[in-house]
Amino acid sequence: MLQTLYDYFWWERLWLPVNLTWADLEDKDGRVYAKASDLYITLPLALLFLVIRYFFELYVATPLAALLNVKEKTRLRAPPNATLEHFYQTSGKQPKQVEVDLLSRQSGLSGRQVERWFRRRRNQDRPSLLKKFREASWRFTYYLIAFVAGMAVTVDKPWFYDLRKVWEGYPIQSIIPSQYWYYMIELSFYWSLLFSIASDVKRKDFKEQIIHHVATIILLCFSWFANYVRAGTLIMALHDASDYLLESAKMFNYAGWKNTCNNLFIVFAIVFIITRLVIMPFWILHCTMVYPLELYPAFFGYYFFNSMMAVLQMLHIFWAYFILRMAHKFITGKLIEDERSDREETESSEGEETAAGAGAKSRLLANGHPILNNNHPKND
């Protein structure tokens, strides 16, 4: 049974154009071709990425946060209450009015005190500013290095300037070491993101992030199996072009550098739109959908690869919508509340004394975070 499934899975007609077999992609005459077994290394490399990330956040990002004077806001903690804590853990973090009334009778607190307790308890569970800064620092460092590496791998290749050459001689296209390691490292990093997503800062597009990571991993694996490596390297380099700008904007957001953060966000928005909504659909997707048909009839791999590309493109449009909304409101001078953000709740409306710094208003948001808390004395 397993052998039958294995044979069906690796049936040449699924992966390769007509009249070609796996034998045509066997290493010979010093030419090396992409093989499925190459990808085994990505799982241990993903675990290595998690280890490197741990030490990076501890010994690089944390001191950098201190250097940039990233400050935590003191949060009022919810007093111990077994009844309310049990409801919080088992039934929900935002009780309805009927449930508030019931909990009020059970705990001996007033309805307003119950609501206040749940606000404080939710705030306790929200990620700290330092955690957000460390995550952004790690992703910024990786994306910047990956973008530079991606450009180094692709910019000297003829298909970087003439997309028709992506398919020249396909699929009999040998792999060079720089392409191999670029693929292995990128795929390993996305595995590490998928492994850590449950413990990372959660935003309202959590499900879309999972879809993005899974679609990217499937796309990278399939493109390696089917030797779509030239197209794959171009797609990876294109995606890394804007990501490091966003993460750097987040870092300056958490540090309180208003002007730097806002300027970086505008640059990020411009680069994102150009790369994801212009170059991606009108150059890259055109390259993967149109040019191959000039060389061979469409086969399952052709449809599958372009379906995954379409999923990524829809996610780009989804995120571009929020980015453009933020950019428009920022340019027009309106206060912005990003729909993706999970902002901390305040108790000032009830006349309570809040913790130090709690009265600061949030400003422009970038990718789910308030850009500025401008009570910070730092200027740039």
CATH T-level fold of 82-125: Arc Repressor Mutant, subunit A (1.10.10)
Greatest alpha-carbon span in the chain? 82
Per-residue pLDDT of the chain (380 residues; tens, 9 = 90+): 777 887 777 888 788 888 888 888 888 888 899 988 999 999 999 999 999 999 999 999 999 999 998 877 777 788 888 888 888 888 888 888 888 888 888 888 888 988 888 888 888 777 788 999 999 999 999 999 999 999 999 999 999 999 999 999 888 899 999 999 999 999 999 999 999 988 888 777 678 888 888 988 998 999 998 889 999 999 999 999 999 999 999 999 899 888 898 889 999 999 999 999 999 999 999 999 999 999 889 988 899 999 989 988 998 999 899 888 887 776 776 544 444 445 555 554 443 333 333 333 333 333 333 334 433 444 44
What is the phi/psi pair of residue 269, to 5°? -60, -40
Q: Looking at residue 363, what is its pLDDT?
A: 36
Q: Looking at residue 345, what is its pLDDT?
A: 56
For tokens 């949030």, the residue is: 362
All structural domains of the chain with their residue ranges = 27-67+128-332, 82-125
* DSSP line for 265-303: HHHHHHHHHHIIIIIIIIIIHHHHHTGGGGTS---HHHH
Phi-psi region of 379 (alpha: psi -120 to 50; beta: other; left: phi over 0): beta
